[in-house]
Amino acid sequence: MTVKEHFDSMDYGLAPESAAEALDWITARDGAFGLYINGAMTAPGELFKSRNPATGEVLAQVTQASADDVDVAVIAARKAQKSWGALPGHARAKYLYALARLVQKHSRLFAVLESMDNGKPIRESRDIDVPLVARHFYYHAGMAQLQDAELPDREALGVCGQIIPWNFPLLMLAWKIAPAIAMGNTVVLKPAEYTSLTALLFAQICDEAGLPNGVVNIVTGDGRVGEAIVTHEDIDKIAFTGSTNVGRQIRRATAGSGKSLTLELGGKSPYIVFDDADLDSAVEGLVDAIWFNQGQVCCAGSRLIVQEGIADRFYAKLKARMGKLRIGDPLDKSIDVGAVVDPIQHQRITDMVNASAGEGELYQAPCPLPDQGCFYPPTLITGLSSASTLMQEEIFGPVLAATTFRTPSEAVEIANNTRYGLAASVWSENVNLTLDVAPKLVAGVVWVNGTNMFDAAAGFGGVRESGFGREGGWEGLQAYTKPRGKAVSLKPIAPVSAPKDAKVDALDRTAKFYVGGKQARPDGGYSQAVWAKSGALLGHVGIANRKDIRNAVEAATAASGWAKTTSHARAQILYYIGENLSARADEFAARIDAMTGGRSGAKEVDAAISRLFTYAAWADKFDGAAKPVPMRGVALAMNEPVGVIGGFCPDEAPLLGLVSLMAPAIAMGNRVVLAASQPYPLAATDFYQVLETSDLPGGVVNIVTGDHATLAAPLAGHLGVDAVWSHTGADISATVELESAGNLKRSWINNAKARDWMGAAGEGREFLSHATEVKTVWVPYGE
Ligand code: NAI
C-alpha cells in the first residue's frame, strides 16, 4: 500500500509483534517444562499441552503435578520459611526490588509469552499486565521494608498455597506472591492449566534474583493439583482467585482445618450511565469495561444499566463504536480484541448466549473474525430484565447485557440485584450524584467515570459471593499476616452443675432473649438453670433454636438504618451504654462473681465500661485513606460496615467478652446477633436491660442464649448473615466455616488462641478490621 492509499483508507494495517524470542525461550527448554521446586526445575513429568488459543498450535508441554510433587513443594516451602520469615524486612525488600527490576528487564518477553498463551492483545499485556506486575513487586518491596517498623505486632502466616486463574496469569501471580513473600511467608503457587508459561518464566527470574531456595515454588496442572494444595495439612493459608463454584468448594474443603483463606471470585459488575454522563467517554469506558481481555475479567462491567431517556442514543453510539472494534491476532498491536483463552471457554460463552436466545435484542460487532482460533465477537444484548440469566450469571466473555432505569434509586436497586459484589462503575458529570451512589453500591470497588483501574496501593476484592479479603494496599497485608504470638487452644468451660440438694425457687427468674429491641421467649420452650458455684440457683435462661436465630437475624436485617447513622451518633450511644453500665456496676460484678465463683467481677465490669469507651472513641476515628495511586485523582479507601454479624461470645468473660464483640461491630455500623457465654449467660441477659435504657435502636443488638454447637449451623448458614465471629470455647470452627460457604460470608475463628480479654489483645484494630469492609472508590480528577 502507498502512503496515499493509507491516508485514503485510514486503515490501521498490520503491526505484528514478533513471536520469535518467546518461541526461542520455549525451544531452549525443549518445549517441555517440569515444576519449580526448592529453587530448581524438576524433570518434566506427566505432560499436557499448552496451546495458543489464537491459532490452536501447541506452544509447550507442561507437567501435571502429582500430590507427591505438591508435598515436596510444601516441604521445601516449610523449610525455607523459617529463615525467610526471620530475615529483617530490608533483606526481603531487596529481593522484591530485584524481582521488580527483572520483570521490567524481561518485560517484552513476558508480554509476548502472555499474549501467546492466553490470547490477550499484546497492547494489554505490554501496557497493562506487565507494568502492573512490576508495580506490585515495587510496592511490596516497600511493604517488606516498612514491616518491622509499621507492623511490629504482626507476623507471617507461614506457608501459603496460592491458586490462580487464567485471565491475568502473570498479574494474578504477582498479586499473590508479592505480598506473601514480602511479609515473610513462602509459597506454593499453581497457575491455571491453560496458562502456565509466564509463571515458569517467573520461576527463572526468581533464580536470577537469587531468591533463597523454596521461597517460591510453582506447581503446574489442573484442578486436581489445586485440590492437593487445598487439602495439604502443612499449609497455613490458601489464597484463591477463580470461579465462585470452586471458591465455595475450597471454603468447604478447608473448613475446620485452621487454614486462613481469602477468596477473590466472580462478579457481574454494574456499569451505570446517568443521562448527564459524557456519553462518548462512557462508551469508551465500556470498551474497556467489557472488551478488555475479551471480557474475561472478574470485575468486567458486564451489566450495562443506562438511564431510559438516553438509552437509544447511547446504544446507537455504542454500536457505532463496536463497528470499529478490530478483532484478531493478539500479537497484532493494532487489534482491540484478541482470542478467548480456550475452546472450552469459547463453547461456554456460546452456550450461555444461545441458551438465552430470544431474550432481549442481540447485536454483534460486524468486524470479521479470523478463520481459525477462539474468537468470539463483541456482543451487546439490550432490553433484558434485571432477573434475566444473562444479567445474573457471569458469562466471562465479551458479552454485554443491558437494561434501563429511570431514577437513581432504581439504578442502585438494579445494580445491587445480584449475588455478587465485586466492582461497579458510575458515570455522570454530576459528582454529587456519583458520590451519592457510590456508597450505596454493594461492591468492593467503585470507579467514578472510569473502569478497570487497578493499583498495588489500592485494595481490590469483593463482598457477597465475590469472596472476601482484599489484595493490595495496607489492607491486603492482613491476608498474609497474623497477630504475633503463640496460639494456645481455648478450652470450653463447663457450666456449674446443679447441686445434689437443689431446691426449686418459687420466684420465676427466667431471662428471655433480646430480639428486635424486645424481650422474646424461646421458640422451643426450653430453658436451662444457671447455678452459682455456691449452690444457689441464679436463674434460668432460654435455649435458642433455629427459629430464634431466624427471628434475631430478621430483626438485625430490619435495623439496617443503623449503618446510616453518623459515627458521632454511634459514639454517643456507646458512651451512654457505658454510663448506664457503670450505674449498675456493683450488681453486674456480683452477678459475675456468683456465676464464676471468682472475685474478678468488679475488674471485669470496669474493663467492659472502658471497652465501651474505647469503641465510642474509635467510632469516628477508624478512618479510611486516600490512596496515592499513580493517576491524577484519588482512590478512597472507605471503611464500611460488613452488615449483620453473628457472634459466639467467649465462655470465660461473660460480660466483657460480649461487650468486646458487640462494641466494635456496632461502632462501625453493623448489627449483631450474639450467642452469650454458654456457661455464664446471665451477664448477657442482664446487659440487655442496660441496652434498653441507652437509646440503642431495636434490632441493632440481638442476644440469645443456648448451646453454641447447636446454634453454629443455623447462624453461620443463615443467608442474611454477612460474617460470623467465633470466640467460644466450643469447637465450632468446622461447622461455622462449612456453613458459611452458602453465601460465602466472612468468618473469624478465634478458638485456637486464648485471648486476654482484660488486656490490649481484647480490643483494637484487629476487631475493627473484622467489623469493616474496605470499599475503594476511584475518583479521577479528569485531565
Ligand atoms: P476455575 O475456578 O475452575 O479455575 C481457577 C483455578 O482453580 C485454576 O487454577 C484451576 O486449575 C483451579 N481449580 C479448579 N478446580 C479446583 C479445585 N477443586 N480445587 C482447587 N483448585 C481448583 O475456573 P475455570 O473452570 O477455568 O473457569 C470457569 C468459569 O469460572 C469461567 O467461565 C468464569 O465464569 C469463572 N472464572 C472466574 C474468574 C475470576 O477471576 N473471577 C477466573 C477464572 C474463571
- One DSSP character per residue, 387-434 reads TSHHHHS---SSEEEEEEESSHHHHHHHHH-SS--SEEEEE-S-HHHH
| SS3 at position 557 | helix
Identify whether 264 is a catalytic site residue: yes
User: What CATH superfamily is the domain 19-265+475-483?
Assistant: Aldehyde Dehydrogenase; Chain A, domain 1 (3.40.605.10)
**Protein residue with least CA distance to atom 14, ligand 1:** 223
Instruction: Count CB atoms within 10 A of the CB of residue 323.
Output: 12
Give the residue whose CA is nearest to atom 15 of ligand 1: 223
SS3 content of the chain, % helix, strand, coil (to 5): 40, 20, 40
Please state the atom number of ligand 1 nearest to the C-alpha of residue 395: 34
User: Of all protein residues, whose CA lies closest to atom 25 belonging to ligand 1?
Assistant: 243
Is the whole-model pTM more than 0.90?
A: yes
Series of mean pLDDT values for 10-residue runs along the chain (783 residues): 79 88 98 98 98 98 98 98 98 98 98 98 98 98 98 96 98 98 98 98 98 98 98 98 98 96 97 98 98 98 98 98 96 97 98 94 95 97 95 97 98 98 98 97 98 97 97 96 79 84 66 96 93 90 97 98 98 98 98 94 97 98 95 95 97 96 98 97 96 97 97 98 95 96 95 79 94 97 75
* DSSP H helical ranges for 223-376: 223-230, 244-254, 279-291, 308-322, 343-355
Say what the pLDDT of residue 492 is: 79
- Whether residue 220 contacts residue 193, with contact meaning beta carbons closer than 8 Å, is answered with yes
- Nearest of 100, 73, 380, 95 to residue 228 by alpha carbon: 73
Contact 637, 473 (CB under 8 A): yes
Supply the pLDDT for residue 521: 95
Q: How far is the centre of ligand 1, averaged over its atoms, from the C-alpha of 746 (Å)?
A: 20
Alpha-carbon distance of 575 to 126, in angstroms, equals 55
> Which of these is catalytic: 264, 393, 652, 766?
264
246 within ligand 1 shell (Cβ under 6 A): yes
Decide whether 19-265+475-483 matches 513-528+535-767 in CATH topology. yes
Nearest CA to ligand 1 atom 28: 243
Under 8 Å between Cβ of 633 and 774: no
Q: Is the CB of 576 under 6 A from ligand 1?
A: no
Domain 513-528+535-767 has CATH 3.30.70.20: no
Own/partner contacts of 620-625, CB < 8 Å, gap of 24 or more, are 620/567, 620/568, 620/571, 622/667, 622/668, 622/765, 622/768, 622/772, 624/774, 625/473, 625/474
Cβ–ligand 1 distance for 490 under 6 Å, the answer no
Measure the CA dihedral 383/385/386/387, to 10°: -140
Distance, C-alpha 227 to centroid of its chain: 20
- Report yes or no for ipTM above 0.85: yes
Q: How far is the centre of ligand 1, averaged over its atoms, from the C-alpha of 398 (Å)?
A: 18
Cβ 226 under 6 angstroms from ligand 1: yes
Q: How far, in Å, is the centroid of ligand 1 from the Cα of 176?
A: 16
Q: How many angstroms does the Cα of residue 242 sit away from the middle of ligand 1?
A: 4
**Is 190 near ligand 1, meaning CB less than 6 Å away?**
yes
Does ligand 1 come within 6 angstroms of the Cβ of 394? yes
What's the grid cell of residue 434?
456519583
Which of 168, 197, 246, 249 to probe ligand 1 with, by most ligand atoms within 8 A of CB? 246
Report the pLDDT value the prediction gives residue 120, as an integer from 0 to 100: 98
Q: From CA 244, how far away is CA 237, in angstroms rounded? A: 18
* CATH topology for the 270-455 domain: Aldehyde Dehydrogenase; Chain A, domain 2 (3.40.309)
Nearest CA among 355, 451, 464 for reference residue 417: 464
What is the whole-number distance in angstroms between the Cα of residue 169 and the centre of ligand 1? Answer: 12
Q: What is the residue type of 675?
A: A
Q: Which atom belonging to ligand 1 lies closest to the Cα atom of 172?
A: 40
Contacts with 561 (C-beta within 8 Å, 6 or more apart), sequence order: 697
Q: Residue 265 — left, alpha, or beta (φ > 0 → left; ψ -120 to 50 → alpha)? A: beta
| Domain positions in the chain | 19-265+475-483, 270-455, 513-528+535-767
Asked whether 720 and 553 are in contact (CB, 8 A), the reply is yes
Say which amino acid occupies 685: T
- Ligand 1 pocket member 661 (CB < 6 A): no
- Cβ–Cβ < 8 Å for 372, 340: no
- Which of 64, 70, 163 is the pocket-test mutation for ligand 1 (most atoms within 8 Å of CB)? 163
Task: Tell me the β-bridge partners of 401.
Answer: 303, 381
Cβ atoms of 567 and 575 closer than 8 Å? no
Q: Are 446 and 412 in contact (CB under 8 A)?
A: no
Q: Which three cell numbers stand for residue 7?
A: 491516508
Calpha distance 479→309 (Å, rounded)? 45
